[in-house]
Amino acid sequence: MNRTLLSIRELSVRYSTPDGIVPAVNDFSLDLQAGECVGIVGESGAGKSQSFLAVMGLLPGNATVGGTATLGSESLLGCGIDALNRLRGARIAMIFQDPMTSLTPHMRVGEQIAESLVLHKGLSQTDAMARALDLLQQVQVTDARRRLHQYPHELSGGMRQRVMIAVALACDPEVLIADEPTTALDVTVQAQILSLLAELKRERRMGLVLVTHDLGVVAGVADRVLVMYGGRVVESGAVGEMLVSPRHPYTRALLRSMPRIDDDRTAPLTAIPGQPPSPAKLPSGCAFHPRCAGADAACRDQLPAMLEGRTRAACHHPEGAS
Amino acid sequence: MLRYALRRLLGVIPTLFAIITLSFFVIRIAPGGPFDDEQTLPPEIKANLEAAYGLDQPLHVQYGRYLAGLVRGDFGPSFKFKDFSVTELIAQGLPISLTLGLSAILVALLIGVPLGSLAALRQNRPTDHSIMAVAVLGIALPSFVVGPLLALTFGLHLRWLPVAGWESGQWRYLVLPVITLALPVIAYIARLTRGSLLEVLRSNFVRTARSKGLSERAILWRHALRPAMLPVVSYLGPATAFVITGSLVVETVFGLPGSGRYLVQGAINRDYTLVMGMIVVYGSVTLLFNLIADLLYGWLDPRVRYD
Ligand SMILES: Nc1ncnc2c1ncn2[C@@H]1O[C@H](COP(=O)(O)OP(=O)(O)OP(=O)(O)O)[C@@H](O)[C@H]1O
Ligand SMILES: [Mg+2]
């Protein structure tokens, strides 16, 4: 039986900058079920991080957020800081993109994990530290008892990322948003952390959002995939369909640009021509049209609607349509 | 930590030695001598005087003697205040000057840091704008203007505090001088605090703290304030130097019998030993504060400790 944990509807993020309004995210919707992992894929600047920072209420002051986001029956957007603070860290948590700078430099690792336990679960400092030790062991930090009393700068990048995961998992959240949790790490550590997240998701029936620009990462862990381009979702669907026969030309181009170990095809890797657009200067119509081989006049002029099918694709000429 | 502190303390000695050596020779190179303006002195008496103070010896011998005296804690006799040794003169004025200077720095921290934090937390709102406007004034107005203004207002008109002067043990005489001396430092610290706190509040680790659901207050106290204090602590060294020079003016304006006047009078009179004594004392104070600032820095930021 499915249970929707996180529901995001028509989320938008706009930045007011000296150069005008920058639409970083448009019309972003997502339903996340218990025990499900949704991968969010797209090139740099596609709006992946902004979408979820918005949900967590973590955007800077010059950002305006529209749409709704609910966690169970609680609203996350515009609910007031106190209501939001009762949810974040307790029922919804986030692992950030940059583990090197995301921990407080002057606080011992253990304190940083214990903090939310004291706050949300009302544990005593001693109990919270004992729990922090458990958590460090759970995320496979070696020599956890000593690490507990170390400062972030004494840990390697991989260790810090694990600590970040422990911080996020401390209060046993229903929803975990992992924003590129493995980008800064080498391949072996990457695989360890991903399988750790997958295991936690299974064990705790947690909803997991995995943000990445690596389709290979998604293939291993995600149940569903959302592809973002220029601040919009351009295609979404089950991971099998998305990786084998995607309908949107951008998703197909992404796949072609990616090396695959399990694949012995001889076709060369092809990089996607051109640059991803800046949200400040989005192309008209379908934002992908300048880089799309099959683009025509309609693509230049009209924003494509989301078409149902094997996958949902926002394209005037999706693959598999006539 | 203690070993680090000791090592740094020993490291101060060569610096102090360099300051002493440099000042000693620079002062002697300056034209004029301690007994030049006493025109009535017959040449042979002047020569006798100079011989009595060892001024007839070659410079390097004088330097050696001076160092030897310093090691014994003897700053030598004053050339102008003939009945006093330099040690006695400094011992008279220094307690007042130290109290004035230390209070000014303490007051500046206690007022500047909260003001700057408040401005940062109310960024671009009226509170912020007013605090920063006053801060600009505080930095721009020289203390020989602020001092008399304060004395006029609170001394003459309101009669809350003495206009000037000193009675030992009476803190009321220190209030206006301390405020005058602290004002620019308050302003500077407030601006430093505001800027660095704003930066810290935008940092990734504060974002992590917010994602835990911590209140803004908890974030400020536990996560943001300590790193935001780093630039303020770095400024403590220069602030000490500023307060020392500032106290020369403030002591004059408020007629405080501190040691600042000895530096000025000593320089005018070519009272070599007195000037040197003041340089050694103020130099040590400045170095000591730089050391304290370094140790505080290590406490605030564990990344710089133990090396
Ligand atoms: N403070 C800001 N002011 C203005 N625009 C911003 C700001 N922060 C982000 N943006 C805009 O939002 C866009 C989307 O950023 P986002 O961080 O979501 O990208 P991303 O998909 O996470 O990319 P990456 O893979 O590099 O992390 C950026 O390209 C940028 O133009
Ligand atoms: Mg990102």
Q: What is the ipTM of this complex?
A: 0.91
Question: How much is the pLDDT for A121?
Answer: 93
Residue B180 has which token pair? Answer: 């005058």
Q: What mean pLDDT is predicted for residues B178-202? A: 95
| Distance to chain A for B209, nearest Cα, Å | 8
Q: B234 φ, ψ to 5°? A: -60, -30
- Assess whether pLDDT exceeds 70 at residue B38: no
pLDDT band at B94 (very low <50, low <70, confident <90, very high): confident
Protein residue with least CA distance to atom 16, ligand 1: A47
Strand-pairing partners, residue B85, are B77
Find the range with the poorest average confidence among A46-55, B33-42, B101-110, B140-149.
Answer: B33-42
In tens, the pLDDT along A201-248 reads: 898 899 999 998 888 888 888 999 999 999 999 999 999 989 888 999
CATH 3.40.50.300 segments of chain A? 2-91+175-261+268-284
Q: Measure the CA dihedral A162/A168/A172/A178, to 10°.
A: -90
Question: How much is the pLDDT for B298?
Answer: 83
Ligand nearest A213 Cα, by number? 1
Contacting residues for A205 by C-beta, under 8 A, at least 6 apart: A34, A35
> What is the A7 CA–ligand 2 centroid distance (Å)?
20
- Neighboring chain A residues of B222 at a CB cutoff of 8 Å: 104, 107, 115
Q: What mean pLDDT is predicted for residues A69-78? A: 92
Beta strands A74-75 and A63-71, pairing class: antiparallel
Q: Ligand 1 test: best mutation among A48, A52, A98, A232, most atoms within 8 Å of CB?
A: A48
In tens, the pLDDT along A187-201 reads: 887 888 888 888 888
Q: What mean pLDDT is predicted for residues A109-121? A: 95
What are the residue boundaries of the structural domains of chain B, listed by start?
89-255
DSSP result, A273-302: SS-PPPGGGPPSSSTTGGG-TT--HHHHHS
Q: What percent of chain B has pLDDT over 70?
A: 97
Which of A81, A106, A174 to mutate to test binding with chain B, by most B CBs within 10 Å of its CB?
A: A106
- Assess whether pLDDT exceeds 80 at residue B31: no
pLDDT band at A322 (very low <50, low <70, confident <90, very high): very low
Superfamily (CATH) of domain B89-255: MetI-like (1.10.3720.10)
Tell which residue, A71, A29, A63, A52, has the closest CA to residue A226: A29
Question: How much is the pLDDT for A57?
Answer: 94
Find the range with the poorest average confidence among A102-106, B49-53, B182-186.
Answer: B49-53
Q: Ligand 1 test: best mutation among A49, A218, A232, most atoms within 8 Å of CB?
A: A49
In tens, the pLDDT along A119-178 reads: 999 999 999 999 999 999 988 888 999 999 999 999 988 899 999 999 999 999 999 999
The reported pTM is: 0.86
Question: How much is the pLDDT for A184?
Answer: 66
Class at the top of the CATH hierarchy for domain A2-91+175-261+268-284 = alpha beta
> What is the A83 CA–ligand 1 centroid distance (Å)?
27
